[in-house]
Amino acid sequence: MILADLLGGLGRSVLTALAALGRIVIFALSALSHILRPPLYPREIGAALLNVGWLSLPVVALTAIFTGGALALQIYAGGARFNAEAVVPQIVAIGMVRELGPVLVGLMIAARVTSSIAAEIATMKVTEQIDALVTLSTHPMKYLVAPRVLAGLITVPLLVGIGDIIGIAGGYTVAVRTLGFNAAAYLQNTVNFLELHDIISSLAKGAAFGFVASVMGCYFGMHSGRGAQGVGRATKTSVEAAAVLILAANFVLTGVFFTL
């Protein structure tokens, strides 16, 4: 009897999770279809590009530069154990471009952008602004969701690219200033070691993470409960879901790029 209850509970949880996943997938596909179909709202797209992309630059830059610097120190210290200190430029470059750049930028975007999108849309929902949009013949998916998801798709790969460069610059600065590396040789090693495939995988991850982060913010905002508690829960859940999905997507995409 206890076992049956346990299995029943487990089954219900799995079904609930699958149903939620299905709703999110349908929402994401609907958002994509609204991006592709007119009318588009250029002002809203411009505002979303500014918020998701430009205004995220400082936090992305700071995260990348400190991570690149710390990575150089760690690799130098670790490499010294088997006389491999010289690999710092190569490992910093590949570590930032293939893994840390996209993941850290994705997580920072989840923290900064997903939360703000979810809180904004959830507040609009509880104050009936979304109902008002509908009565004013404006589709909320087109006016609120499509611009934000499009901005995530466009700007996060760019932020990842910038984050990669700044992260490598952080490693370079530490290596040259503190660890005594030759500046020209460091840059030469970095450039020679990186392949086009690495850069493409980095930017593709950025696009995927930008999509996930913006869709999660929009989905949980649009499905917020009532009142301040509803807005708070929507915001918290959106960030949790975005962070977990970004890490899961990173694992899957890394596997895919390994096989290519």
Residues 6+ apart with CB under 8 A from 140: 130, 133, 134, 222
Is 42 near another protein (CB under 8 A)?
no
Residue 115 is encoded by which pair of tokens? 């939360």
> Shortest distance, CB of residue 62 to another protein, whole angstroms?
27
From 182, 158, 20, 16, select the one nearest 85 (Cα to Cα). Answer: 182
Is 229 near another protein (CB under 8 A)?
no
Is 39 near another protein (CB under 8 A)?
yes
Q: Which is nearer to another protein, 120 or 164 (CB)?
A: 120
> Shortest distance, CB of residue 131 to another protein, whole angstroms?
5
> Shortest distance, CB of residue 1 to another protein, whole angstroms?
28
Is 135 near another protein (CB under 8 A)?
yes
Is 137 near another protein (CB under 8 A)?
yes
Taking residue 111's Cβ as centre, other Cβ atoms within 10 Å add up to 16
Q: How many residues bind another protein (CB under 8 A)?
A: 14
Query: 121 near 143, Cβ under 8 Å?
Result: no
d(CA 167, CA 69): 7
Is 136 near another protein (CB under 8 A)?
yes
Q: How far is CA 123 from the centre of its chain?
A: 23
Interface pattern 204-223 for another protein (x via CB under 8 A): --------------------
Query: 185 near 86, Cβ under 8 Å?
Result: no
Q: Which is nearer to another protein, 38 or 180 (CB)?
A: 38
Of 131, 177, 192, 227, the one binding another protein (CB under 8 A) is 131
Of 138, 173, 237, 254, the one binding another protein (CB under 8 A) is 138
Of 35, 41, 70, 233, the one binding another protein (CB under 8 A) is 41
> Shortest distance, CB of residue 140 to another protein, whole angstroms?
11
Q: Which is nearer to another protein, 103 or 130 (CB)?
A: 130
CA–CA distances in Å: residue 155 to residues 94, 102, 127, 216: 22, 12, 30, 16
Q: Which ranges constitute the DSSP H helices of the chain?
A: 2-36, 42-52, 57-79, 88-94, 101-109, 115-126, 129-135, 140, 146-177, 183-193, 196-222, 227-259
Is 132 near another protein (CB under 8 A)?
yes
The stretch near another protein (CB under 8 A) out of 53-61, 102-110, 128-136, 226-234 is: 128-136
Is 259 near another protein (CB under 8 A)?
no
SS3 state at 179? coil
The stretch near another protein (CB under 8 A) out of 10-18, 98-106, 132-140, 183-191 is: 132-140
CA–CA distances in Å: residue 259 to residues 95, 113, 255: 18, 32, 7
- Residues at the contact surface with another protein, assessed by CB under 8 A: 39, 41, 47, 124, 127-129, 131-132, 134-138
